[in-house]
Amino acid sequence: MGSRVALALGMALSLGVTVVAGTASAAGCEPDGFAARGRAEGNAVIVLYRTVPATVTLGRHFAVEAIVCGESPPATLTGIDADMPEHRHGMNYRPTVTANAPRHYVAQGLMVHMPGRWRLLFDVERGGRRARLASDLFVD
């Protein structure tokens, strides 16, 4: 298991991406009526998200609505992906991300094809630095 972690970390570093986890405050971040179902955080950035539809179904496209919070300078969501760490593969689709409003993004075209633990991966950029934040998504 240690060699897999080292390999993943080495790959992330070679791509100039930091895979992070940590703590930050989401106080005042979530807009009224958003009702986030999950979060990913690190490097003083928080991504609050929900899937549309709320329940992800195998073999059906879904969207992710995300709110990006962080201290100055503001963070930008540059991409969303998903993978299955235990199987070492990702989705067969490449979603598109659009900004709906300041800090509010929508990714369309995600689809998972196997049951189990998936990770939603949020690529954010803040102050010229990139980070990849992850949050588990369990699909039956």
- Do 65 and 77 touch, CB atoms closer than 8 A? no
| Residue 95 belongs to domain with CATH number | 2.60.40
Number of domains in the chain: 1
- Do 126 and 110 touch, CB atoms closer than 8 A? no
The reply to whether 2 falls in a domain is no
Average pLDDT, rounded, for the chain: 83
- Calculated CA dihedral for residues 132, 133, 135, 137, nearest 10 degrees: -30
The reply to whether 31 falls in a domain is yes
pLDDT tens sequence across 13-63: 333 333 333 344 566 688 888 999 999 998 789 999 999 999 999 999 999
The reply to whether 85 falls in a domain is yes
| pLDDT attached to residue 25 | 56
